[in-house]
Amino acid sequence: MVSPRIVGLAVGLILGIVWMWLGFGPAVLVAALGIIGWVIGAALGNLTSGHVDLNELWSDIRGRRGTA
């Protein structure tokens, strides 16, 4: 599994390159679309188990693990 530090580094590098070539607005757009894609991916990952648990999805978004 890929370390969160590596993922963060890759995202930062990509956003930095987009910002350098296209400006701040497109970099923010890329970041927003990345977040939307991450949420959709999390929802689809939950669909493979047969249900979508919105509380679990919200916990994933906030970066917290469930207690149960």
Q: What does the pLDDT read at residue 66?
A: 53
Cα 27 from Cα 43, distance rounded (Å) = 25
Where the chain has pLDDT below 50, the residues are none
Q: What does the pLDDT read at residue 45?
A: 66
Q: What does the pLDDT read at residue 13?
A: 84
- Please give the structure tokens belonging to residue 60: 């994933």
Q: What does the pLDDT read at residue 4?
A: 66
Q: What does the pLDDT read at residue 50?
A: 56
Cα 16 from Cα 24, distance rounded (Å) = 9
